């Protein structure tokens, strides 16, 4: 069945550091790919998406490119802020259903 694998956390960075959170997926066909973010005390919210191979999703300085050849959708940001501290979930969508990874906690210190 469909599955999503994310790098283990927590990822601990200093402010203005470069961020990469790895995500790979297993699925037949051509799923859509997503990153959701959960800030402390809040519900998950959609951060960015890509619906086909080579698409790049971007939002709030975050980017991820849908790489079909490596079945990956890694999340990147050039310069993180303390306010980016949250849990990040990679997800794939097929047949109107989302399958989530386990989440990666990001902690950014001043």
Nearer to another protein, 70 or 96 (CB): 96
Contact with another protein (CB under 8 A) among 44, 55, 63, 67: 44
Percent helix, strand and coil across the chain, each rounded to 5? 5, 55, 45
Among positions 68-107, residues that touch another protein (CB under 8 A) are 89, 91, 93, 96-98, 100-103
Whole-number CA gyration radius for the chain: 13
Candidates 20-28, 45-53, 57-65, 73-81; binding stretch for another protein (CB under 8 A): 45-53
Cβ closer to another protein: 4 or 106? Answer: 4
Buried b (16+ CB within 10 A) or exposed e, 83-109: ebbbbbbbbbbeeeebbebebbebebe
Residues found near another protein in the complex (CB under 8 A): 4, 32, 34, 38, 41-46, 49, 89, 91, 93, 96-98, 100-103
């Amino acid at each position: 069945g469909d599955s999503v694998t994310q790098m283990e956390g927590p990822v601990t960075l200093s402010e203005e550091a470069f961020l990469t959170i790895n995500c790979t997926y297993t699925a037949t066909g051509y799923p859509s790919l997503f990153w959701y973010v959960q800030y402390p005390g809040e519900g998950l919210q959609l951060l960015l998406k890509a619906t086909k191979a080579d698409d790049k999703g971007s939002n709030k300085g975050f980017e991820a490119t849908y790489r079909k050849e490596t079945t990956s959708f890694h999340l990147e940001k050039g310069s993180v802020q303390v306010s980016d501290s949250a849990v990040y979930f990679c997800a794939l969508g097929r047949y109107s259903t989302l399958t989530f990874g386990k989440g990666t906690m990001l902690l950014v210190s001043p």
